[in-house]
Structure 1
Amino acid sequence: MVKPVLPVLGLFFALPAGALLWQGQDLTRSFAAIAAPPELLEGCGDVPEAVALAEELRDRALRIERYMAALDTRKAEIALAETTLRERLTELRAQKGSITARQDGATEAVRNDIDRLVALYDQMKPAEAAAILINLPTDFAAEILMRVQPEAGARIIAAVEPRQAALLTAQMGARSVRNP
């Protein structure tokens, strides 16, 4: 014989709910009153250990809330700092790009100037070019001699006095060693 326990229990709970609906009462208020947690010290106010434990739990809850609030504040600060750093990084990358472009432009301008100077020395007579080169700083004169056409460079060095030609040749060799 099967016991009809489940239908009886369903009827037991459904009848009061149906009666409340029939009367037009708000069910949520009734169920909320049943489901509301009891006060923490309800019925234990005279036990000192329970009171101390309840106070300790309240203090811990407050500390945890403060700690969580501080964590949220730190998260917001970190997010703001991260955003600021990313913006700054973008600015610095843009500045680096513009600086590199300016340096490349300046380097190109210097190369063009040196190429024009070299072309000028290529067109000069060896004796005239030698007279000018011996009055220039040795490293600059060696740089020009390294860049002129080899035949023109040989004629210019031949037109320079031997001591000065030795210095220029040594400077040219030292330049080649420094910049492989």
Structure 2
Amino acid sequence: MRNRVLSLLALGFGLPAAALLWDAQAYRLSDLFAAFAEPTGLMRGCTDIPEAVALAETLQTRSLRIERYMGSLEEKKAEIVRAEAALRDRLAELKAQKATLRSRRDGTSQAVRSDIDRLVALYDQMKPAEAAAILTNLPSDFAAEILMRVNPETGARIIAAVEPRQAALLTAEMGARSVRKR
């Protein structure tokens, strides 16, 4: 019996509250909490009771605070919207810069590759003894890179023309470069 009464009371209070909230969706949230009547209208005939006057003043003060707070929330919402728009613009700008840098880098990489290909073709055309003499004077990592890219037969003849100690260093560097690329 007690549960039925509680359920009926909850239903009795819950339905009007739900209806009020449903109706409030069409309005701003600050309108929902705005004072519905002027305190002076409520106080008509009650100005001789100090507790009622104090309560009315407290309610009016709270109402004003709530209205100011809701106004500041609206300002903050607008500020967040502006910040999001600025971030979206900045993101688009950064993406465009990234694409520009990528295209420049790809162009530079392609130019470097074509230069290396020309250099490798040059070493492919040289006599092994002449290529060996030049490669021994280059930094070992650069010489190893060239040797790795030339035709394998030409590379073998070039390494054969290099003094054994230098050939061992170049071969070790070539092996190390192969391992690093993996």
* TM-score, normalised relative to structure 1: 0.79
- Equivalent position SS for 1:103: helix
1:53 matched to which residue of 2?
55
1:15 matched to which residue of 2?
none
1:136 matched to which residue of 2?
138
What RMSD in Å do the two structures reach over aligned CA positions? Answer: 1.3
* Cα displacement (A) at 1:137: 0.2
2:112 matched to which residue of 1?
110
* Stretches (4+) displaced over 2 A: none
What pairs up with 1:119-134 in 2 under 5 angstroms?
119-134=121-136
Match of 1:94 among 86, 93, 96: 96
What pairs up with 1:53-92 in 2 under 5 angstroms?
53-92=55-94
2:148 matched to which residue of 1?
146
Aligned equivalents of 1:151, 1:172: Cα separation in 2 = 15
Aligned equivalents of 2:167, 2:89: Cα separation in 1 = 57
Aligned equivalents of 1:64, 1:135: Cα separation in 2 = 82
Of stretches 136-145 and 74-83 in structure 1, the one that deviates more from structure 2 is 74-83
1:113-150 Cα distance to aligned partner (Å, 9 max, x none)? 00000000000000000000000000000000000000
1:159 matched to which residue of 2?
161
1:42-69 Cα distance to aligned partner (Å, 9 max, x none)? 0100011110110011000100111011
* Cα displacement (A) at 1:76: 1.0
Instruction: Give the letter for the 2:93 counterpart.
Output: E
Aligned equivalents of 1:40, 1:55: Cα separation in 2 = 11
* Cα displacement (A) at 1:169: 0.2
- Equivalent position SS for 2:114: helix
Unaligned 5+ runs, structure 2: 1-36
Aligned equivalents of 1:164, 1:39: Cα separation in 2 = 104
Answer with 1 or 2: which has the greater Rg. Answer: 1
* TM-score, normalised relative to structure 2: 0.78
- Equivalent position SS for 1:39: helix
Instruction: Give the letter for the 1:55 counterpart.
Output: E
* Cα displacement (A) at 1:40: 1.3
- Equivalent position SS for 2:44: coil
Number of matched pairs: 145
Q: Work out the percentage of aligned pairs sharing the same amino acid.
A: 72
Aligned equivalents of 1:44, 1:107: Cα separation in 2 = 87
Structure with larger RCO (C-alpha < 8 A, sep 6+): 2
1:173 matched to which residue of 2?
175
